[in-house]
Amino acid sequence: MVINRNNKRAIIYSAESPNEVQLRRFAAFVEKRYGAGIPVVWEERPEITGGFRLEIGTDVYDWTVEGKLNQLQEELSRLPDHRSDIIPLIKSAIDEWIPVPEVQEYGAVETVGDGIAIVSGLENVGYGEIVLFETGTRGMVQELHRNSVGCILFDNDNDIASGSAVRRTYRNAGIPVGEAFLGRVIDPLGSPIDDEGQINAREYRPIERPAPGIIDRQAVNTPMDTGLIVIDSMFPIGRGQRELIIGDRQTGKTAIAIDTIINQKGKNVICVYVAIGQKASSVAQLVEKLRQFGALEYTIVLAATASDAAPLQYIAPYAGTAMGEYFMDQGKDVLIIYDDLSKHAIAYRSMSLLLERSPGREAYPGDIFYLHSRLLERSAHLANRLGGGSITALPIVETQDGDVSAYIPTNIISITDGQIFLEKDLFFAGQRPAVNVGLSVSRVGGDAQTKAMKKAAKTLRLDLAQYRELEVFMQFSSELDEATKRQLEYGAGLMQMLKQPQYHPLTQHEQVIVLVVFLNKLMTGLPKEDIPRHVRELLDYFNANHRSLCEQIDETGVLTDEVQDAILAAGRAFRKTIDGNNN
pLDDT in tens, 239-275: 999 999 999 999 999 999 999 999 999 999 999 999 9
Residue 256 lies in a domain: yes
Full DSSP string of 344-398: HHHHHHHHHHHTTPPB-GGG-BTTHHHHHHHHHTT--BB-GGGT--EEEEEEEEE
| Residue 156 and residue 295 share a domain | no
pLDDT at 84 (0 to 100): 47
| Residue 352 and residue 462 share a domain | no
- Residue where a domain stops, chosen among 449, 471, 503: 449
Residue 4 lies in a domain: no
State whether residue 183 is helix, strand or coil: coil
Residue 1 lies in a domain: no
Ranges under pLDDT 70 in the chain: 1-7, 21, 65, 67-103, 475-478, 582-583
Q: How far is CA 70 from CA 124, 374, 434, in A?
A: 21, 35, 57
pLDDT at 72 (0 to 100): 63
Range of the domain at 39: 10-96
Residue 556 lies in a domain: yes
The count of structural domains within the chain is 4
| Residue 566 and residue 434 share a domain | no
| Residue 376 and residue 327 share a domain | yes
Beta strands in 226-308 (DSSP E): 244-247, 269-276, 299-304
What count of Cα atoms within 13 Å lies in the side-chain half-sphere of residue 454? 13
How far is Cα 193 from Cα 250, in angstroms, rounded to an integer?
26
- Residue where a domain stops, chosen among 51, 66, 96: 96
Q: Are 372 and 412 in contact (CB under 8 A)?
A: yes
Residue 500 lies in a domain: yes
Residue 259: what are its φ and ψ, rounded to 5°?
-60, -35
Residue 114 lies in a domain: yes
| Residue 353 and residue 218 share a domain | yes
pLDDT at 1 (0 to 100): 31
Q: What is the pLDDT of residues 484-525, one digit of tens each?
A: 888 888 998 999 999 999 999 999 999 999 999 999 999 988
Domain CATH number, residue 535: 1.20.150.20
| Residue 462 and residue 335 share a domain | no
Domain CATH number, residue 164: 2.40.30.20
pLDDT at 48 (0 to 100): 77
Q: Which is it for the CA torsion 18, 21, 24, 29, positive or negative?
A: negative
Residue 486 lies in a domain: yes
Residue 3 lies in a domain: no
Domain CATH number, residue 252: 3.40.50.300
| Residue 397 and residue 364 share a domain | yes
| Residue 381 and residue 299 share a domain | yes
pLDDT at 583 (0 to 100): 58
How far is Cα 222 from Cα 103, in angstroms, rounded to an integer?
51
Task: Give the CA radius of gyration of the chain.
Answer: 31
- Residue where a domain stops, chosen among 123, 145, 172: 172
| Residue 370 and residue 428 share a domain | yes
| Residue 303 and residue 196 share a domain | yes
Q: What's the chain's average pLDDT? A: 88
| Residue 280 and residue 134 share a domain | no
| Residue 353 and residue 227 share a domain | yes
Catalytic residues: 443
